[in-house]
Structure 1
Amino acid sequence: MSSQDFPMRRAIAFTLSTVGLFLFSSLGQAAEGIAIDKGNARIVKLVEAAETVIIGEPAIADVAVKDSKTLVLTGRTYGSTNLVVFNAAGEPIVDQPIIVSRQGKGSVRLYRRSDVEMMTCMPVCEADTIGGDDDSDG
């Protein structure tokens, strides 16, 4: 092995490790799913045009199709469901879990014996009534 081979091997090793790290982080994001706060919307851009869009449990999340490559997901109530999108050939192009949770920032839980009340404090605290359902988590 010549001394000229060492820098080339180092460059190849660095490139492979960088690509591996990128793939690992992408897979981690895919496994986590799409997180939405209750009462909020999130834009989802697709790489291919959607023909059919399905939400597993419409009571938890809703979807609006803005155009063939742009979806808007809205968290309706707490829980998890999934989003499935098919292209014109009927092949799935998206199959992701959706997790709808409470808004972390500006939210407070008030415990009174066995009762739990969710308050949204932006800037004044008010009972959380988004969606018109109770404060239960399920």
Structure 2
Amino acid sequence: MSSQFRKAGVLGALSVVLLSSAAAAENAVDVSVDRASILRAPDGTSTVIIGNPLIADATMQKNGVLVITGKSYGSTNIMLLDGAGAVLSETLVSVRRAQDNVVVVQRGAKRESFACMPRCEPVLAVGDSPDSFSATAGQINQRGGMSTGREN
């Protein structure tokens, strides 16, 4: 194999990789934990597949609106299929921490998160110590139960 032919093959393969990366970048969405983002699903979408449902969730609404909600930090993909199972689109979803007024307090190995707007109140945050996370989750669930007439 001539060196010129090898160079052309390498350049061709590199251009395919670069084009694939560019296409993937066009089909990407960033969302924060506990926040939602909206995408438009292609016509004929009948199935939504989430690569890792621990990182993000997706719900199909009327008129092809797809609501993507960040659940935990990381990245995953969402694939949309038609009725025959053909892939209509694939989107990379990156979930990050919200850029709001969250203060993280580290006391030795114990970590707690607070939303400070303007008063600091505990919030659920992935990575907080189990006792802090459980106590905050319990209070949120109890309050939610009271608002629906159900007491825990």
Is this a same-fold pair by TM over 0.5?
yes
Aligned counterpart for 1:64 among listed residues 41, 59, 62 = 59
Letter in 1 for 2:128: D
Aligned counterpart for 1:135 among listed residues 121, 128, 140 = 128
Letter in 1 for 2:113: M
Secondary structure of residue in 2 paired with 1:110:
strand
CA 49–107 in structure 1, closer or farther in 2 if over 3 Å, else same? farther
Match of residue 71 from structure 2? 76
Match of residue 41 from structure 1? 36
Secondary structure of residue in 1 paired with 2:89:
strand
- Separation (CA, whole Å) in 1 of partners of 2:68 and 2:121: 25
Q: By how many angstroms is 1:103 displaced?
A: 0.8
Structure ranking higher in strand proportion: 1
- Separation (CA, whole Å) in 2 of partners of 1:104 and 1:52: 32
- Separation (CA, whole Å) in 1 of partners of 2:60 and 2:41: 11
Secondary structure of residue in 2 paired with 1:120:
strand
Unaligned runs of 5+ in 1: 1-22
**TM-score relative to the length of structure 1:** 0.63
- Separation (CA, whole Å) in 1 of partners of 2:118 and 2:25: 32
Aligned counterpart for 2:26 among listed residues 24, 30, 39 = 30
**TM-score relative to the length of structure 2:** 0.58
Structure ranking higher in helix proportion: 2
Secondary structure of residue in 2 paired with 1:63:
strand
Q: By how many angstroms is 1:55 displaced?
A: 0.7
The answer to whether the 8 A contact 2:77-2:93 is kept is yes
Secondary structure of residue in 1 paired with 2:98:
coil
CA 116–109 in structure 1, closer or farther in 2 if over 3 Å, else same? same
Number of corresponding residues:
109
CA 108–65 in structure 1, closer or farther in 2 if over 3 Å, else same? same
Letter in 1 for 2:67: V
The Cα RMSD (Å) is 2.7
Letter in 2 for 1:30: E
- Separation (CA, whole Å) in 1 of partners of 2:25 and 2:57: 21
Q: Which has the higher contact order (CA 8 A, sep 6+)?
A: 1
Unaligned runs of 5+ in 2: 1-18, 130-152
Aligned counterpart for 2:86 among listed residues 91, 95, 120 = 91
- Separation (CA, whole Å) in 1 of partners of 2:63 and 2:79: 14
